[in-house]
Amino acid sequence: MPSNRHGVLLVGGNGFLGSALARTLASQGAEPHVLARTVQPGRIDGITYHRGRQDAPEVVVPLLESCHTLVHLASTTTPGLSATRSSVDTLENILPAAHLLEIMEAHPPERLMFLSSGGAIYGNPERLP
């Protein structure tokens, strides 16, 4: 059965990667929706901005009902901070993402993508070249 959902939800989509992805999606005719805690709600250049937290069902559920894909880009910490202060990373990133997963159980997107920066993959270098 074809979906009536046409949007792409970028959770934490106001950062470097998310902004570039939102612009690219809009230029290709997609319907990007950016969810971030610090954006001004509205529509600019084909991108719709929503202010809110990823773990707030009252914000996320309506977006999931209109978006077929969710791209998770949200993070409040850098790889270095998350390695040295794991409690901050847990409270600000892991728990909200876990709550988002619980919300998605009841309102699953057709596709889920999780993006991360190279620093999170490769860690801190032992020496600089």
Could you list the pLDDT tens digit for every one of the 129 residues in the chain?
A: 446 778 999 999 998 889 999 999 999 999 999 999 999 999 999 999 999 999 999 999 999 999 999 999 988 776 666 667 778 877 888 899 999 999 999 999 999 998 876 555 566 667 777
For residue 1, what pLDDT is reported?
42
Compute the CA torsion angle 11, 25, 48, 53 (nearest 10 deg): 0
Alpha-carbon gap, residue 127 to 129, rounded angstroms:
7
Question: What values do phi and psi take at 52, rounded to 5?
Answer: 165, 180
Please tell me the pTM assigned to this model.
0.83
For residue 88, what pLDDT is reported?
80
